[in-house]
Amino acid sequence: MNTALGAVNAYSAASKSVSQLPAKAQEITPSADNSFASMVSQVATDVAETGKAGEQASMAFATGQPTANMVEMVTAVAETELALQTMVSVRDRVISAYEEIMRMPI
Residue by residue, DSSP assigns 36-63 as: HHHHHHHHHHHHHHHHHHHHHHHHHHHT
Lowest mean pLDDT among 22-26, 37-41, 60-64: 22-26
Confidence of residue 24 (pLDDT cuts 50, 70, 90): very low
Residue 84 and residue 47 in contact, taking contact as beta carbons nearer than 8 Å: yes
- Output the pLDDT for position 15: 52
Q: How far apart are CA 44 and CA 38, in angstroms?
A: 10
**Inter-residue contact 15 to 53 (CB < 8 Å):** no
Q: Is the dihedral of CA 59, 63, 64, 65 positive or negative?
A: negative
Going by the DSSP 8-state scheme, the letter that residue 105 receives in this structure is -
pTM assigned to the model: 0.56
In tens, the pLDDT along 68-99 reads: 788 888 888 888 899 889 889 988 998 999 99
Asked if 47 contacts 24 with a C-beta cutoff of 8 angstroms, the reply is: no
Banded model confidence at residue 16, pLDDT cuts 50, 70, 90: low
Task: Give residue 76's pLDDT.
Answer: 85
74: alpha, beta or left? (left if phi > 0; alpha if psi -120 to 50): alpha
Residue 13: the pLDDT is: 56
Which of 5-14, 20-29, 97-106: highest mean pLDDT?
97-106
**61 vs 65: CA distance, rounded Å:** 6
pLDDT score of 75:
87
